[in-house]
Amino acid sequence: MDPVTPSLEVAGLAFAYPDGHQALFGVDFTVARGERVALLGPNGAGKTTLVLHLNGILTGGTGTVKVAGLPVGSKHMAEIRRRVGIVFQDPDDQLFMPTVREDVAFGPATAGLKGAELEARVDRALEQVGMADFKDRPPHHLSFGQRRRVAVATVLAMEPEILVLDEPSSNLDPASRRELADILRSLDVTVLMVTHDLPYALELCPRSLILSDGVIAADGKTGELLSDDALMCAHRLELPYGFDPRSVPSGADRSP
């Protein structure tokens, strides 16, 4: 891919559900190749609806979505779904095979990869998330944090252009939270992170988007957005008690 072509371009995206509920009212933003961007917003803002448009699970509204220059639509759907990897909030929604190896191999095998090439793809994905020693273990024997890392590996095995993470830090203990952050910083992939964990957004994502009432209400440096008390209040975003974003280096200031 041409490095100048954005990983993601969303223009004028509006969508209403069949019951008439309008979830998106015209969303516009661009994510450059290799960026790590947080998608913030209160419950009901339209974040899930937006994410489901990125790989064509939802369609039929107005506006356009492009992934690596390819318009999301039936013509390119197989390639779009390879390029956009979504890691769900609950890893058990993604892990269903008897062993970790089989779970990570499932996507590439379905796409036609086999033999040594498939094994190499599985090994590389597990190495990237620090789970190579667990590939013969049943996923249900792993800790929650380990299962989340394997869920990330199942997506990385498809060699995506964009990694979309839905609440990646939820239910993780502090050590698992830090380990996942280290992994995400090490990946050479574009990241869109949907989260209510504002300190985690600040730690990992130099840039954030605030989605509110179906539109992008703010787009800027994460630390600056989180330090704007009026903006935060207007969009029902609250930092943990005593947390001062001005005292913490943002994702832009941390080494990968």
Q: Kindly report the CATH number assigned to the domain that includes residue 206.
A: 3.40.50.300
**203 inside domain:** yes
**58 inside domain:** yes
Could you report the per-residue pLDDT of 137-151, keeping only the tens digit for each? Answer: 999 999 999 999 999
pLDDT at 252 over 60: no
Count of the separate structural domains present in the chain? 1
Residue range(s) defining the domain that contains residue 183:
8-89+162-248
Give the pLDDT score at 256: 40
**111 inside domain:** no
pLDDT at 153 over 90: yes
The pTM for the full model equals 0.92
**104 inside domain:** no
Residues 34 and 191: their CA atoms lie apart, in Å, by 7
**29 inside domain:** yes
